[in-house]
Amino acid sequence: MKYREIKADGFLSNFIECFWEYENTIQIQHCIIPDGCFDLIAEYKNEKLTQIKLTGVWTKPVNITLPKSTKLFAIRFKLISAEYIFQKEIKSILEKTQCLPINFWGIDTLKNDDLDLFAAELLNQINFSINNIKKIDERKISLFDLIYEKKMYNVSQLSKSTFWNSRQINRYFYKQFGFPLKTLLNIMRCNETYPEIANKKLYNTNQYTDQAHYIKEIKKYTGSTPRELAKNENDRFLQLSTLNKK
């Protein structure tokens, strides 16, 4: 399995987590665990572009099977991108994927052998979308910046820091994404533990009240215990496998 990421930088890092590529040589099963983002994925089979899809947000694990000789080029978006880049809500595809036209953003004209070039071409498209937006709500920029800092704020702290009423925040979250802010914060907290789990550190009470709470929360969002995640047999948990392949 081959995996690589290119991190976004500058102003666009407010909207994009990274560009990534994945390639396998044998059929493989993965369990995708929630990461607080959504993806635009171009899927190639035997070097031919077969589909482009937009994922919703995962709030629970999902099992997928990738046939051999599958290659993926993708963009991992932060949630604010739904409103400002795609200009739509994504609650309708929560826990789902949506197929897009094969010529979406001109992806069908791009080569699939150079992630750097793929990223550069699509950054131009995304920059164009952002530049055509008349106004971006600074409260939302601040809110998501704090969330993705992964410093484990609670809803009340985020509300005070962004001068945005917590009820209004949750109304926005339900309308755009289909779940409350607290769910995203729980997912991000779990994500903070994955590097430790990948390194076989299975005890984490820094962000949890005790070990039992830690295990319960990890299992809620991944379907597995920390010990099962750490074993990661046959690269089942893709995110944990990629921690060692960047």
pLDDT by residue (tens digit) across 3-57?
999 999 998 999 999 999 999 999 999 999 999 999 999 999 988 999 999 999 9
Closest-CA residue to 113 (of 23, 240, 183): 23
- In this prediction, residue 68 has a pLDDT band, given cuts at 50, 70 and 90, of very high
The more confidently predicted of residues 77 and 47 is: 77
Whether 115 shows a pLDDT value over 80: the answer reads yes
Whether 74 shows a pLDDT value over 60: the answer reads yes
Whether 244 shows a pLDDT value over 70: the answer reads no
- In this prediction, residue 243 has a pLDDT band, given cuts at 50, 70 and 90, of confident
